[in-house]
């Protein structure tokens, strides 16, 4: 009797690779949001805390002198912005603005 059970197990139809592929969920690709980042020249005093604390390197030092007489920070790589808003948290003068861009495609 034991050999009959074993024979039945072997002769059972197996699940093919095509069946497994059709039952799997396809991964969804999450599109990354885009952000608009600005530095207000009237408020920036050139402390560069936004440069120091931005995890992706959106900001750089600028040769532009702001209204307060200091070299200001500049947004050089806005496409890198992830929207974490660390720059807003650390800017003591509220000179940085981060806005989510609306896709109008």
87 within some domain: yes
CA 42-43-46 angle, 5° bins: 105
Q: Which residue range forms the structural domain that includes residue 53?
A: 35-100
Q: Write the CATH number for 75.
A: 3.30.70.20
25 within some domain: no
Of the candidates 32, 47, 31, 29, the one whose C-alpha atom is nearest the C-alpha of residue 84 is: 32
Give the Cα separation of 85 and 55 in Å (integer).
Answer: 10
74 within some domain: yes
Percent of the chain with pLDDT over 70: 68
**pLDDT score recorded for residue 32:** 76
Rounded to an integer, the average pLDDT of 44-53 is 96
63 within some domain: yes
Answer yes or no: is pLDDT of 13 > 80.
no
What domain count does the chain have? 1
Give the Cα separation of 70 and 47 in Å (integer).
Answer: 9
Confidence of residue 61 (pLDDT cuts 50, 70, 90): very high
């Amino acid at each position: 009797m034991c050999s009959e059970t074993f024979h039945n197990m072997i002769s059972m139809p197996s699940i093919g690779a095509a069946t497994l592929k059709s039952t799997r969920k396809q991964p969804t690709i999450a599109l990354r949001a885009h952000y608009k980042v600005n530095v207000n020249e009237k408020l920036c005093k050139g402390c560069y805390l936004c440069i120091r604390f931005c995890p992706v390197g959106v900001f750089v030092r600028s040769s532009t002198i702001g209204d307060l007489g200091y070299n200001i920070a500049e947004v050089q790589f806005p496409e890198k912005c992830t929207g974490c808003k660390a720059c807003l948290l650390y800017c003591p003068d509220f000179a940085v603005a981060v806005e989510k861009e609306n896709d109008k495609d």
